[in-house]
Amino acid sequence: MKVILAKNAGFCMGVRRAVETTLDIIHREDRGVATYGPLIHNPQVLDLLAERGVRIIKEIPEQESGTVVIRAHGVPPEQKEKLKATGARVEDATCPHVVKVQVIIKKYRKQGHATVIVGDRNHAEVEGLMGYSGPLGQVVSNEADVAAMELSGPYIIVSQTTQDHKAFDSLSRMILARFPGGAVFNTICDSTHKRQDEVRELCGRVPAVVVVGGKNSANTQRLGEIIEGMGCRAFMVETEEELDSAALGQYDCVGVTAGASTPNWMISRVVRTLEAIPGRGEGVSHIIFYKFCWFFLATNLCVSVAGGFLAYTCGLLQGLAPQPAHFLISFGYLFAMHNINRFTDQKTQKFNDPVRALFYRRYRWPLLVASALALVLALALARELGSRPFLLLAGMGLLGILYSVRFVPQFMLPVIKVRGLKEIPGSKTFLVAAAWSFVTTLVPAWGSGAASNQMTMGVLVFVFFLAFVRNALFDVFEVQGDRIVGKETLPVWIGEKKTIMLLQLIMGLLLVLLVLFPVLGLMTAVGFWLVPGVCYLVVLLYCYEKKYVSQGPRLEFWLEGVFFLMAALAWLASFAGRV
């Protein structure tokens, strides 16, 4: 079925900051990490943090060691002081928006103002704000509370940051009507605003919306209320297992949104499961086409064919005559390595793409046998090309298989710090880019002996950076799941923003190389024709940043599509006789 994903679904800034702060502390703290109260309202994320050793403290103990994290909702000031007195290092991950409300209350309290908080009395954020308000604070949640209010003297009205702004406006007006002269501060955060406005807009386009999020998350429940209020059907789920396929199958298109404490990987799981449910009126051909596309991606046939086409493009960039062997060697090697990597990476796969993880578990043996055969075929073809291409491919195959093995002995850990290649931060992005460039450029060049060394070096540099962009982009798409399981990809290591900036720089460099290298004799004139291919990548990254596209099979197709596009452009160039 067709699924429309809300642009602002998922972790808000405050929640992302709190989770990332905690994950960073796990890395450096060896005396233990605890959070005061549940870090966020999402049981699945809390379970994962517990798996990584993060404890939840419900009562402040006399003594505590290690680090205690104050969650995004904040705490009353006296509780913060008590936590410090336990001897623990206190890391305050209170969201800056919540801190802003605390500051407003503190400032006006000093001037003798009472505080009225519009919100849920039992919500952790409101409990924290009441701590700042002191005895002159009170909470109102509905009209009955306003009717029962008692106030004298100057006062301010603030809002819980995740309130519905319509409810806040109406309750503030009622309060002002009863007690004129109060100062109103609409402290609903932008993220909540945008999420709620967007869901209202979404209800105008779809008959039903799936809301993903914790059952005890106030902002998630509020999204459900808004959807029902708009006359749309709301399906509230915590995980994809709770989706009611029979009820959802009545619709041809559904919307998906999520609460502020729902991670991207969980939203992706729901979206992918929904996309696999046949919608109303969807013909058999549509379902078969969807299943074929998914199979093409899940089995890594898509990436392997893309690699084969890249070998074709590299051949033309070096002035080599295209040979089926070049295509098949790249195809076989990439098919084998990508499948083996998926098998050794089941842990992250479980979060980033559970449907695919299940597929690998179910078809483990057929895929492993096919991968072994593909590698043997690639090696046999490389042998035909000569001993140098064969040895290069065999060495890369060995490296690919060893990549996930922890070969460094335990006793050397204090010196070397890592047990294997996989644990070196960012290593995967570099090594995979190197493997792609060697197999698509060096193997054909060494096999034919016709390429000039100069051109081979030029094309090797270009393809390394191109493959680097592809791999780093995949890592960016999966950064939240990777971070939570502690996988050391480039975006986890240097951060998502810095990775994207680096990729923008590399894309700029790729454009320069495509214009400069043909002039310098470091590649053929086919290089000029590939400029639209790099522009395509720039547009794709822009769309991802602006959230016009989200992580999922479609995005994967589009990203792998760059190699098909470049092969088509290279073919056009050779057809036009410009090589």
526 near ligand SF4 (CB under 6 A): no
39 near ligand SF4 (CB under 6 A): no
104 near ligand SF4 (CB under 6 A): no
**Phi, psi values for residue 233, rounded to 5°:** -90, 130
Q: Rg of the chain over CA atoms, in angstroms?
A: 28
161 near ligand SF4 (CB under 6 A): yes
Q: What is the rounded CA–CA span in Å between residue 358 and residue 122? A: 40
90 near ligand SF4 (CB under 6 A): no
Is 488 labeled as catalytic in the residue annotation?
no
95 near ligand SF4 (CB under 6 A): yes
Q: Which is nearer to ligand SF4, 12 or 232 (CB)?
A: 12
The window from 133-141, 187-195, 241-249, 558-566 that contacts ligand SF4 (CB under 6 A) reads: 187-195
Q: What is the rounded CA–CA span in Å between residue 478 and residue 492? A: 10
12 near ligand SF4 (CB under 6 A): yes
User: Of all residues in the chain, what percent are helix, strand and coil, respectively (each to 5)?
Assistant: 65, 10, 25
Q: Which is nearer to ligand SF4, 192 or 313 (CB)?
A: 192
Q: How far is the CB of 188 from ligand SF4 (least distance, A)?
A: 8
Is the distance from CB of 41 to CB of 216 less than 8 angstroms? yes
Q: Which is nearer to ligand SF4, 13 or 368 (CB)?
A: 13
Q: How far is the CB of 103 from ligand SF4 (least distance, A)?
A: 14
Q: What is the rounded CA–CA span in Å between residue 32 and residue 87? A: 13
Single residue of 159, 192, 348, 480 touching ligand SF4 by CB under 6 A: 192
524 near ligand SF4 (CB under 6 A): no
226 near ligand SF4 (CB under 6 A): no
The dihedral of CA 383, 385, 386, 389: what is its sign?
Answer: negative
**Phi, psi values for residue 419, rounded to 5°:** -95, -15
Q: How far is the CB of 400 from ligand SF4 (least distance, A)?
A: 41
Which among 557, 561, 530 is positioned nearest to 314, based on CA atoms?
A: 530
- Contact positions with ligand SF4 (CB under 6 A) in 50-79: 72
Q: Which is nearer to ligand SF4, 72 or 303 (CB)?
A: 72
Give the pair of three-digit tokens for residue 93. Answer: 């991950």
Single residue of 14, 128, 332, 447 touching ligand SF4 by CB under 6 A: 14
523 near ligand SF4 (CB under 6 A): no
Q: How far is the CB of 97 from ligand SF4 (least distance, A)?
A: 4
The window from 75-83, 186-194, 351-359, 360-368 that contacts ligand SF4 (CB under 6 A) reads: 186-194
Q: How far is the CB of 260 from ligand SF4 (least distance, A)?
A: 4
Beta-sheet strand order (sheet of 89-92) = 54-57, 33-36, 67-70, 89-92
Neighbours of 93 (CB within 10 A): 22
Q: Closest residue to ligand SF4, Cβ-based?
A: 14
CA distances from 304 to 113, 125, 333 (A): 67, 50, 8
158 near ligand SF4 (CB under 6 A): no
Please give, one letter per residue, the 3-state secondary structure of 184-212: ECCCCCHHHHHHHHHHHHHHCCCCEEEEE
The window from 12-20, 56-64, 170-178, 364-372 that contacts ligand SF4 (CB under 6 A) reads: 12-20
191 near ligand SF4 (CB under 6 A): yes
Q: How far is the CB of 123 from ligand SF4 (least distance, A)?
A: 10
162 near ligand SF4 (CB under 6 A): yes
Q: What is the rounded CA–CA span in Å between residue 500 and residue 490? A: 10
97 near ligand SF4 (CB under 6 A): yes
Please give, one letter per residue, the 3-state secondary structure of 15-60: HHHHHHHHHHHHHHCCCCEEEECCCCCCHHHHHHHHHCCEEEECCC
The window from 8-16, 46-54, 306-314, 463-471 that contacts ligand SF4 (CB under 6 A) reads: 8-16
Give the pair of three-digit tokens for residue 399. Answer: 């490296």
Which among 163, 161, 125, 124 is positioned nearest to 141, based on CA atoms?
A: 163
Q: What is the rounded CA–CA span in Å between residue 368 and residue 405? A: 17
- Where b means 16+ CB within 10 Å and e means fewer, 421-431 reads bbbeebbbbeb
Give the pair of three-digit tokens for residue 81. Answer: 């002081």
187 near ligand SF4 (CB under 6 A): no
The window from 11-19, 263-271, 275-283, 288-296 that contacts ligand SF4 (CB under 6 A) reads: 11-19
The window from 188-196, 307-315, 413-421, 504-512 that contacts ligand SF4 (CB under 6 A) reads: 188-196
Q: From the candidates 20, 59, 81, 125, give the one annotated as an active-site residue.
A: 125
- Catalytic residue list: 125
Would you tell me which residues interact with ligand SF4 (CB under 6 A)? 12-15, 72, 95, 97-98, 161-162, 189, 191-192, 260
